[in-house]
Every structure is written in C-alpha cells, then in structure tokens.
Amino acid sequence: MIGDVKYKDVKKQIQKYFKNWSQSVAVNSIVPKPSANVQYTQINFVDVPDATQSNLSITNNVNLKMNDEDYHIALITNNILGGGGEGYLFKNLREDKGYTYGAYSSLGTDRYGASRFNATAKVRNAVTDSAVIETLKEIKRIRTEPVDAQLLKDAKAKYVGNFVMALERPQTIANYALNIKLNDLPEDFYTTYLQKINDVTVEDIQRVANKYFKEDNLRIIVVGNGADVLENLEKTGIPIKYFDKYANATEKPVFSKPLPAGLTADAVVNNYVTSIGGEANLNKINTILVNSDVTIQGAPFKPKATIKQMAPNKSYMEIVVEGMGAVMQQSFNGESGYMVQQGQKTVMDDKMLSVKKAEKGLFPELYIDASSLELESIMTIDGTDVYKVKVTNGDVASYRYYDTKTNYLVRTEETAEMAGQTMTTITDYSNYKEVNAVMLPNTMKIATGPQVLSFETTEVKINEGVSDADFN
C-alpha cells in the first residue's frame, strides 16, 4: 500500500478486514519449459485476403530474468534497436523508407525464463518484403557494428530521465516493491539501477545483442494479403511456412480462380449496372443525400455523417460529434474544394482537384471507358468470390471488386500521395437495399492506413434535400 498513510493505521485495517481470508486452493507453480526457437530463420505466413496492410512480428524466445547481470544492458540494447523514435528500426522503416507509421522492438523478461524478443511494424502491402529485409538488416547491424558512442549516451539519458520521472507515481513504488519479491531481486536493485545503466559499454551492447537477438533462429510472422505480398516475399529466399488464423499449419493458399471463358471487364461492369437498377433508372438520379451513424476505430464517441452528391461530380461530407460540432468536412463544387480536419482548413491542391474534376456522374460505371478496364482475376474477400477489375486512368491505376453472384460492387481500392507518403484507401460496400428502384449500399467501411471509419446508413433521399448552395 502506497500513499499518504501511516503504517500502524493501515496494518490495523488490514488485520481487521482480511484476517478471515484463507488460501482456498493450492497454487501450482510448475511452469512448462518454453519451446525451443526455430532451427532456422523462416517466414510464417497467415493469409488475410482482405488485409489492407501487413502486420510483421519478427521474434525469438529468450531466457532473460530481471536478476540476470545482462538485464540493464538488455534495456539499453533494445532501446537502441527499436525502443522509440530514435531507434534503428524507426529511423530506417519510418523516417528513411516511409514504409510505416512506426517500427519498434521489445525484449521481455520473465522469472520463469519464458519471454521473447519481438520487432514489429504495420506496413503497406507493396513494401512487405522490403520491410522484412530492412528489419533483418538492422538486427544484424546491432549485432555486428559497434554502436555510436553518442547514441549510447542518449539512450542512457532517456532511461535515467524516465526512471526519475516514474518515481513521482505511487504505483511505480508499488511495482518496484512487487518486482523485488516476485523476481528474487536484491534489496538494492533500484538504488543501484541508475549506476548499472550508466555502466553499460559499447562492447556490452554488441555482446547482449548477439545473445538475445537470434539472427539465425528468427520466426518472421507475416499476417497479410497473400495475393499481394507473397510473390515478393518468396523472392527474399527466406523459407516460408503457411498457417491459418488459429496457427494450424496449412498449405500455400490459392489466391485466384479461373475466369469464365469469354468474360470481359466491360461485361462485369455492365452486369453491375443492370443488377443495381439499370442504366435508365441510374440516369434519373441527379442528387443523393445520405445520413449515417459513424464508428471511428479506437474513438470513444459515435459521430454522425451527412453525405451529399450532385451530378456530375459535386460532393460534400460532414462528420459531426455531439457536443463537439463538425470534426471533419470535405467539399467540392465542380471547380474548387477544401477539407477541414481538427479545425484546420486546407484548400485542395491541383492534383486532388484534377482527380475530382475527372469524376463523372454519381455512378462511375456508367462512364468508364471500356478500354481502360482489365479483368485480372477472381479472388476472395470475406469468403465471397469477387471479380477484380483494374481501372487505368493515365498513369494511375485503381481497382474495383464485384461479387461474382450478385454483381454488386463490394470494394474499391485507390492509391494516392498524402503528405509525402503513398497511401492506399480501401472502401468496402455491403448491405444493399432498394431506394427508388435502385440498389444502394447501406454499409460502408473506409480504411486509409491505420484509420478506419464505418458508416451505417440511417436515411437516404433521392433527388431531394440537396442544392448547389451545399457545395459552396
């Protein structure tokens, strides 16, 4: 118990309220021995067909305890490799290559010797293989190259600062007391902590990196879209084993199925138009107003969205949070547009305006040039077979996916440059319902990088509730 209390008072309360407590079951402290590391470095691949990015976990088991002489050195070693924004992994994969928002590592401890080293990142499909190679390069680097003296000094300073700041929290003191008991630590473990951190040398870092980062026995776990990433992963030369999502060994997935003879991309698009209502009914629609409930992944609030569209290409979207007002807006009036996010208004640049101006009609399939279409394959999304159609507009390619049975559009995939980085936006459509003789999706999920927004339609209005003034 940590706080502004007197020991005698607390002791009396504990004796009063807990005196009748007794051990009700026997405690089994026998812990199974951890499994051995893999015999050779290998990729363990889990296929997630609709994944918009790959999750990487490069790991090996370690036997490191807090009372080991290597403990303090291990803290600094991991910090230099991937403990934060100053680590090798972050500077390479994020700052230099732009593969990910962040790349980190951890080196765990366990009193039973059952912990692991783990380097992680979430990366774009297109750079999955490159991210694996660069991570392995940084692991090899810290094992073979003496760390820069200034970098080591900075890593020590960070730990010293964090240690001192943590002492201001009562729970830290409680945890330290528990650690001493649970991990069989010497009573002076924390009073000598800073000295042991400052004693770490360049030679210590290289020795400990070789001991705990098993370059030749790494399990490289990749969870991602096999159709997009496996071909390049195979080119790395690293052996690949395949597993299902429950970690059961399996065969290499089949990523595409044979296309029906004579089927063209133009026919797939025309079948979609027919299935949702036909060209005549779609051409009758001049405006669409949609109100939706929104879920933002990781957000504690439930916003509402209003989306307005007017042919040929005017659009407006607003997301509102009760008590906070509009948290996001985007508007395009056919010639110019703007975006507002977190109170900051940004005028659309020439590249984005060019894309917006090129859009035609409320249903793009009515205007897509057949010569720009290519039927690539049949693949599976969430258990549903879909036709993958590539749409080429100049140097830019996007993808549209249509259900092989209903012909409905179930996904679009577009890549654009944002803030100096190439980002892919995946939009999923489902739950089609009829409105004015036209089938419209009532559920939409938009994923851009780590940000995911889900829209559930509450109201749809066709040819009412929208005017030119809405886009100014």
Tokens of 320: 């509102």
Looking at the fold, whether 240 and 282 belong to one and the same domain comes out as no
The verdict on residue 27 lying in a domain is no
For residue 237, being part of any structural domain is answered with: yes
Residue 52 belongs to a domain: yes
C-beta of residue 388 within 8 angstroms of C-beta of residue 49: no
- Pick from 75, 138, 81, 84: which is nearest to 109 by CA? 75
- Summarize pLDDT for 307-357 with one digit per residue, the tens: 999 998 999 999 998 888 888 899 999 899 999 887 788 898 887 888 788
What is the Cα–Cα distance from 41 to 59, expressed in whole angstroms? 10
Same domain, 99 and 190: yes
Same domain (yes/no): 399, 465: yes
- Let me know if residue 256 belongs to a domain: no
pLDDT at 301: 84
Per-residue pLDDT at 420? 59
Tell me, what's the pLDDT at 421? 64
Which pairs count as long-range contacts for 466-471, CB under 8 Å and 24+ apart, including other chains?
A: 466/287, 466/288, 466/289, 466/308, 466/309, 466/310, 468/310, 468/314, 468/333, 470/308, 470/310, 470/316, 471/308, 471/310, 471/314, 471/315, 471/316, 471/331, 471/332, 471/333, 471/334
pLDDT of 3: 85
Residues 82, 144: one domain?
yes
Q: Specify whether 165 is located in the same domain as 89.
A: yes
Burial class (CB in 10 A: 0-12, 13-18, 19+), 230: buried
Kindly state whether residues 182 and 279 are assigned to the same domain. no
Select from 33, 23, 143 the least CA-distant residue to 77.
143
410 occurs within a structural domain:
yes
pLDDT given for residue 419 in this prediction: 55
How many structural domains comprise the chain? 2
Which stretches of the chain score pLDDT less than 70? 50, 417-422
Residues 160 and 188 in one domain: yes
> How far apart are alpha carbons 309 and 430 in whole angstroms?
19
Answer whether residue 296 is part of any domain.
yes
Tens digit of each residue's pLDDT (9 = 90 or more) over 234-267: 999 999 999 998 899 999 988 778 899 999 999 9
In sequence order, which residues have a C-beta less than 8 Å from that of residue 232 and are 6 or more positions away? 128, 129, 130
Domain membership of residue 17 (yes or no) is: no
Q: Clarify whether residues 198 and 269 are in a common domain.
A: no
> What whole-number distance in Å separates Cα of residue 334 and Cα of residue 340?
18
What phi, psi does 213 have (nearest 5°)?
Answer: -100, 100
* Residue 327 included in any domain: no
Residues 215 and 303 reside in one and the same domain = no
> Do 246 and 269 sit in the same domain of this protein?
no
The domain that contains 452 carries what CATH number? 2.50.20.10
Nearest C-alpha neighbor of 88 from the set 205, 221, 229: 205
CATH code of 110's domain:
3.30.830.10
Based on the fold, state whether residues 290 and 241 are members of the same structural domain: no
200 and 284 both lie in a single domain: no
64 in Cβ contact with 110 (< 8 Å): yes
- Domain assignment of residue 231, given as a range: 32-250
pTM strictly above 0.75? no
Final residue belonging to a domain, choices 250, 282, 299: 250
The predicted structure's pLDDT at residue 210:
97
